[in-house]
C-alpha cells in the first residue's frame, strides 16, 4: 500500500469498500492515527475535513491536544489507541474523548474517577483476537467480554461503545478470518448485553493502513489509518 496518499483518496477507498460489501457510505469512520506527526500535519488534514484522530502515546497526545485552539478542540475527537497504564489514567480522562484499549476494570475505574461529570468517556474493550500470550487484550470469549462490559457500564462517566481488535500480521485469508471472528464476537456480545446496554454498543474498531478493506468487508465501523493519510512519521 502506497504511503502518504491524500486524505480524499483514503476516504474514497473506504467508500468503495463499503459499497462493494453492500454497506452504507456512513457505516465506517476513519480515525487518522497521528502518532509521531507534527501539529502542522494534523491541522492540515483537519482543515481538509478530518476531525477524528488517534494517538498511541499519552504524553505526546496530551501535548498536541493542549496546543489546539479552543475552537479546533471543540470540533475534533481524540482517541487513545495505545496501551494505557493506570498512572496515566488521569491525563487521558481529562483530555481524550475515547479510549480504545481497555483490558481491565481497574484502569476504567481510574478513568471514571478523573472524568468530568456529564461528559462520559467512550471506551472500547480491546480483545486478544489471536489468543496470543504475547499480546494484550481480553480473551476472545463472549462470556468474558460481556461480563467486563457489564461491569464497565456501571461506572460513572464511562460509556461502553464496542470492541477493538488488532490482529497479528497474517496472510489476507487469515487476516480476514480474524476480522470475521471479531465481528462475530461483537454481534454476540451486543445481544448478550441486552437492549439497555447494547443499544450504545455500536463500534467495531479494526483495520489499519495495510488491511482496512478486509476489515470493512468483515464489518468494521471504525478503521485506524496513519501513514496512508499522513505519509512517513515525522519524528
**Measured distance CA(130)–CA(99) in Å, rounded:** 21
Task: Give the residue carrying C-alpha cell 474493550.
Answer: 125
Would you state the cell numbers that stand for residue 131, as one nine-digit string?
A: 489468543
Q: What is residue 134's predicted lDDT score, i.e. its pLDDT?
A: 79
Alpha helices in the chain (DSSP H): 7-20, 39-47, 58-67, 70-75, 89-95, 105-114, 142-153, 172-198, 212-218, 227-230
Q: What is residue 88's predicted lDDT score, i.e. its pLDDT?
A: 96
Instruction: Classify residue 87 by its DSSP letter.
Output: G
Tens-digit pLDDT string for the chain (235 aa): 444 458 999 999 999 999 999 999 999 999 999 999 999 999 999 999 999 999 999 999 999 999 999 999 999 999 999 999 889 999 999 999 999 999 999 999 999 999 999 999 999 999 999 988 878 899 999 999 999 999 999 999 999 999 999 998 789 999 999 999 999 999 999 999 998 888 999 999 999 999 999 999 999 999 999 988 998 777 6
Q: What is residue 20's predicted lDDT score, i.e. its pLDDT?
A: 98
Would you state the cell numbers that stand for residue 156, as one nine-digit string?
A: 460513572
Domains of the chain: 7-227 (3.20.20.10)
Q: How many CA atoms lie within 13 A of 194 on its CB side?
A: 4
Q: What is residue 4's predicted lDDT score, i.e. its pLDDT?
A: 46
Amino acid at each position: 500500500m502506497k504511503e502518504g496518499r491524500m486524505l480524499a483518496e483514503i476516504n474514497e477507498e473506504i467508500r468503495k469498500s463499503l459499497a462493494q460489501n453492500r454497506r452504507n457510505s456512513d457505516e465506517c469512520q476513519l480515525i487518522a492515527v497521528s502518532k509521531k506527526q507534527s501539529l502542522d500535519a494534523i491541522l492540515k488534514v483537519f482543515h481538509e475535513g478530518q476531525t477524528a484522530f488517534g494517538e498511541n502515546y499519552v504524553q505526546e497526545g496530551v501535548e498536541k491536544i493542549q496546543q489546539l485552539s479552543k475552537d479546533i478542540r471543540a470540533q475534533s475527537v481524540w482517541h487513545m489507541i495505545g496501551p494505557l497504564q493506570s498512572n496515566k489514567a488521569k491525563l487521558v480522562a481529562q483530555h481524550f474523548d475515547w479510549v480504545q484499549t481497555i483490558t481491565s476494570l481497574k484502569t476504567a475505574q481510574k478513568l471514571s474517577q478523573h472524568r468530568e461529570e456529564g461528559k462520559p468517556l467512550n471506551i472500547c474493550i480491546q480483545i486478544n483476537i489471536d489468543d496470543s500470550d504475547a499480546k494484550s487484550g481480553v480473551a476472545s470469549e463472549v462470556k468474558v467480554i460481556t461480563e467486563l462490559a457489564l461491569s464497565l457500564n456501571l461506572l460513572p462517566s464511562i460509556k461502553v461503545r464496542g470492541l477493538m481488535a488488532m490482529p497479528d500480521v497474517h496472510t489476507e485469508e487469515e487476516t480476514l478470518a480474524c476480522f470475521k471472528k471479531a465481528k462475530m464476537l461483537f454481534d454476540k456480545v451486543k445481544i448478550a448485553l441486552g437492549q439497555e446496554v447494547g443499544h450504545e454498543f455500536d463500534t467495531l474498531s479494526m483495520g489499519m493502513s495495510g488491511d482496512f478493506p478486509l476489515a470493512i468487508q468483515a464489518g468494521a465501523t471504525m478503521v485506524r489509518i496513519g501513514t496512508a493519510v499522513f505519509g512517513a512519521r515525522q519524528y
